[in-house]
Amino acid sequence: MTAEEFVRRLDASNQRLLEALAPDDTLKPEVEGDLNVVNLLKVALKNEIEATEIAARWLVGTDDVDVKLAFARQVGDEAKHYRLIVERLRGLGVDATRIDPLAKGYGPLFKYLDSLATTVERVAAGQFTREAIAVVKNRQFIEFCEHAGDRETATLYRDVIEPDERYHHELGRKLLLRLATTPDAQAAAAAAAGKTLELAEELQRAALAGAGIHHAPGC
């Protein structure tokens, strides 16, 4: 199939699976115990630093200038998100400069993404799919912040972070249209996207079972 047809199909199947990540609309998130904006922002720090680093690794791993620039843009944005979250945590009374988000090592999704060897897989998994997941998760987090009465964090996500993540997803779409042109490339891209969604779902299940977290922000 053409790259256009492939990307259209991948988008549709991603969106179908992403609905499984969306919580029940009637769910009323409650802030209790450990589940609060501060702790969810700490989860976000880890996501953002991992997103920064994987894009940086991929930036140096390609000779394709368009791809380099797409990853460079992403590195800058994800690092900016990290800084903005640190600043927001400071506003909430937490000194996040004392937090090492990688103290427990890299997560399973980072390790999987780091294992991908080709640009088409990286773009399909790390940009097109992971960033689509981030958009869904951030929408949930914005709602959570509003329920918790934290309009400042909600505004940060709505006005700055979420539009950036959407842009990263669109960068992925543009590159896929150029790269996913052969049956082999399309099969590899689809497999990498599928595995990314599977890992995201697994991580969400684990977070839900362990800490009742169902709306940690993505990156």
Q: Which is nearer to Fe ion, 47 or 204 (CB)?
A: 47
Q: Cα(148)–Cα(143) distance, rounded to whole angstroms?
A: 9
217: left (phi over 0), alpha (psi -120 to 50) or beta: beta
Q: Which is nearer to Fe ion, 133 or 186 (CB)?
A: 133
Q: Which of 18, 96, 165, 215 binds Fe ion (CB under 5 A)?
A: 165
- Residue 59 structure tokens: 């930036």
Q: Which is nearer to Fe ion, 49 or 186 (CB)?
A: 49
Q: Which is nearer to Fe ion, 161 or 180 (CB)?
A: 161
With CA atoms as reference, report the closest residue to 88 among 140, 161, 138, 147: 161
C-beta of 161: minimal distance to Fe ion in Å? 6
Nearest residue to Fe ion, scored by beta-carbon proximity: 219
Contact region with Fe ion (CB under 5 A), list: 1-9, 45-53, 60-68, 108-116:
45-53
C-beta of 181: minimal distance to Fe ion in Å? 25
Contact region with Fe ion (CB under 5 A), list: 5-13, 140-148, 162-170, 196-204:
162-170
Cβ partners under 8 Å of residue 79, min gap 6: 48, 52
C-beta of 77: minimal distance to Fe ion in Å? 6
Q: Which is nearer to Fe ion, 27 or 99 (CB)?
A: 99
Q: List binders of Fe ion among 50-79 (CB under 5 A).
A: 78
Residue 168 binding Fe ion, by CB under 5 A: yes
C-beta of 28: minimal distance to Fe ion in Å? 27
Q: List binders of Fe ion among 76-105 (CB under 5 A).
A: 78, 81
Q: Which is nearer to Fe ion, 17 or 44 (CB)?
A: 44
Size of the site for Fe ion (CB under 5 A): 6
C-beta of 52: minimal distance to Fe ion in Å? 8
Residue 219 binding Fe ion, by CB under 5 A: yes
**Which residues are at the interface with Fe ion (CB under 5 A)?**
48, 78, 81, 165, 168, 219
